[in-house]
Structure 1
């Protein structure tokens, strides 16, 4: 198998480490193999690939889609980011909890986030190119979000980036707080919210 799949404490999240083969000419690795992912029980179908470029201090998120939730396989192609997923599956024992991982282009590690989560990342390096595969198409009318510094979720961005003063889009500045009484998604990642 060309990958090591590490389960996270939140069910459904995986850190994925591909085997990287390198020598004095450079390196080679498989970014994705349906066969290996299916053998690991990750039987998703990806339909869209996205890529963004960001400077140090940019924070994107926390985003989700409501009626067309997206599972995502994310990685840093260049640079380093702190990537975070928040469990929005009502009834999950980790509802409202988050898991974060540093994605580093030098390590080539990846993070799989299934449907039913909010997702965001913060750029730690001077520049980062961030790429992700999605299990559904982007639907602009279907966007949802949670405030990046919501006190209930309590993401400890400062532990990764002391003195954090994130660069946010106008849209990301206006996301609502996490609401513990909101339904969001059911355990099968079907939207049951407002």
Structure 2
């Protein structure tokens, strides 16, 4: 497995996966602790795995936790998404920048999202199922939502519906100039 760094956000890494297909179906090794640590240049401990299913036009995010920040190892099990990561680390050379990555089950790969970044995605297919493992448990008291359409960030979301489908929490996200950041 060869990793591909995404230069727009420091520490954001694409990890291609290899699917083995034969007449019976397919097999894919999704992650191995020592390989992930080798690609990232540090030990990684994943403590929780989540699965999300969303319909066409749903936009989730941009979420992050101030306390117990989470790094995520994300992959699309079914469907296609536009995945967006915003760097909120003031010490990072890519602070305030974002990366947009198309991910699909047709072209299996994982995305490593480092701690200190806001994360969101837009469903481009009829539905999408995502799996993501995280480095710390969900901490609702410190969850933050950065506004998906903040004009300062100018994220080029792909238009799939006149307006994306949002939760009330995501629709009420903070502007960039209001958002708490990391050191």
Normalised by the length of structure 2, the TM-score is 0.94
RMSD (CA atoms): 1.5
- Name the CA distance, whole Å, in 1 between partners of 2:165 and 2:2: 33
Give, in whole Å, the separation in 1 of the partners of 2:162 and 2:99.
18
Whether 1:137 and 2:148 are equivalent positions in the alignment is no
Taking a change above 3 Å as real, the CA distance of residues 61 and 21 of structure 1, as seen in their structure-2 partners, is same
Q: Which runs of 5+ in 2 are unaligned?
A: none
Q: Which runs of 5+ in 1 are unaligned?
A: 187-194
1:171-190 alpha-carbon deviations (Å, 9 max, x no partner): 1011110118x66102xxxx
Please report how far the alpha carbon of residue 75 of structure 1 lies from its aligned counterpart in structure 2 after TM superposition: 1.1
Corresponding residue number in structure 1 for 2:10: 11
SS in 1 for 2:168: coil
Name which of 158, 170, 173 aligns with 1:172.
170
Q: Which residue of 2 aligns with 1:90?
A: 90
Aligned match for 2:182, one of 182, 185, 190: 185
CA separation in 1, counterparts of 2:11 and 2:23? Answer: 37
Q: Residue in 1 aligned with 2:154?
A: 154
Give the Cα–Cα distance (whole angstroms) in 1 for the partners of residues 42 and 79 of structure 2: 26
Paired positions, count: 181
Normalising to structure 1: TM-score of the pair? 0.88
